[in-house]
Amino acid sequence: MAELDDPVRDLSERIAAATRICVLTGAGMSAESGIATFRDALTGLWSRFDPAQLASEEGFRADPQLVWDWYAERREGVRAAQPNAGHLALGDFAKRRPGVLTLVSQNVDDLHQRAGNADTIRLHGDILADRWLEPCRCGRRRDPHEATPGRPPRCPDCGNLVRPGVVWFGEALPEGALEAAERAARAADVMLVVGTSGAVWPAAGLAATARRGGAFVAIVNPHASEIDGAAHVLVPGTAAQVLPRLFG
């Protein structure tokens, strides 16, 4: 791993010269906007529950109201949050240099979209979206928003439950999302990994994929991550502190 006298200046110059940039963002980026990470959200009333009870199909089927209420509380936090300086820097860059930046996120909030990156690849789904737990047995292609209100809402004909549109433990990523992220990583001149511990796979493998493809890989994080060895340079700091300097 290279030691640079001024890693931010060097990296900003590489970004300015790049024609293809891939950025992977994690929970630390949203935490700067006040959105609790998954583990941090298990506090207070929720601290006595196992994560698998609140973020798995099995847990939802066992107690739909409990899980729905937890996600309703998290949704309120997302709606109240605002994009921080890091989100805005990426959004502004995408507007100035269209087609250069591919943004991949492990976050389930909509802060990147509100900041201007509408085409963000969302690996873990969308917490503000609803979908059916399973195909409706009544055979109708009813939109989840047409469900009978409740905690959770249900199909008025067959009783099928509405669930949050996130990826739960043991579930596959949204169709095509990982493939698109891997293509962007392989094609990148510069790969940034921002605000993630590098503990969640397969997203954590994107840095190594980019490096094998010839990209210059940088990790922006205030703390060490599990994938630091895949980086050419580590930039200590948070997204809101560092990204405006890199992309401004």
Query: For the chain, where do the domains classified as CATH 3.40.50.1220 start and end?
Result: 1-34+83-124+173-248
What's the rounded Cα separation, in Å, for the pair 192 and 67?
34
Tell me the per-residue pLDDT of 128-155, one tens digit each, with 9 for 90 and over. 999 999 988 887 778 999 999 999 999 9
Confidence of residue 5 (pLDDT cuts 50, 70, 90): low
Cβ-based neighbours of 189, under 8 Å, separated by 6 or more: 14, 17, 18, 19, 20, 21, 214, 215, 216
Q: What pLDDT does 6 receive?
A: 82
Neighbours of 171 (CB within 10 A): 13
Q: What pLDDT does 41 receive?
A: 54
The three-state (H, E, C) secondary structure of the chain, written as one string: CCCCCCHHHHHHHHHHHCCCEEEEECHHHHHCCCCCCCCCCCCHHHHHCCHHHHCCHHHHHHCHHHHHHHHHHHHHHHHHCCCCHHHHHHHHHHHHCCCCEEEEECCCCCHHHHHCCCCCEECCEEEEEEEECCCCCCCCCCCHHHCECCCCCECCCCCCEEEEEECCCCCCCCCCHHHHHHHHHHHCCEEEEECCCCCCCCHHHHHHHHHHCCCEEEEECCCCCCCHHHCCEEECCCHHHHHHHHHC
Environment class of 136 (CB within 10 Å of its CB; exposed 0-12, middle 13-18, buried 19+): middle
Mean pLDDT of all residues in 91-98: 97
What's the rounded Cα separation, in Å, for the pair 132 and 155?
9
Q: What pLDDT does 136 receive?
A: 85
Residue located via tokens 């609790």: 36
Tell me the per-residue pLDDT of 6-60, one tens digit each, with 9 for 90 and over. 889 999 999 999 999 999 999 999 999 999 876 665 555 546 677 778 899 999 9
Just list the catalytic residues.
124
Tell me the per-residue pLDDT of 172-227, one tens digit each, with 9 for 90 and over. 999 899 999 999 999 999 999 999 988 888 999 999 999 999 999 999 999 999 99
Q: What percent of the chain has pLDDT over 90?
A: 82
Query: For the chain, where do the domains classified as CATH 3.30.1600 start and end?
Result: 36-80+127-166
Q: What pLDDT does 137 receive?
A: 83
Is 65's pLDDT higher than 60? yes
CATH number of the 36-80+127-166 domain = 3.30.1600
Contact 192, 22 (CB under 8 A): yes
Q: What pLDDT does 46 receive?
A: 47
Q: What pLDDT does 4 receive?
A: 45
Mean pLDDT of all residues in 56-75: 95
Angle at 97 between CA 119 and CA 175, to 5 degrees: 20
Q: What pLDDT does 48 receive?
A: 61
Q: In angstroms, what CA-CA distances link 125 with 105, 164, 177, 194?
A: 9, 9, 9, 18
Mean pLDDT of all residues in 111-116: 98
Q: Report, at the CATH architecture level, how domain 1-34+83-124+173-248 is classified.
A: 3-Layer(aba) Sandwich (3.40)
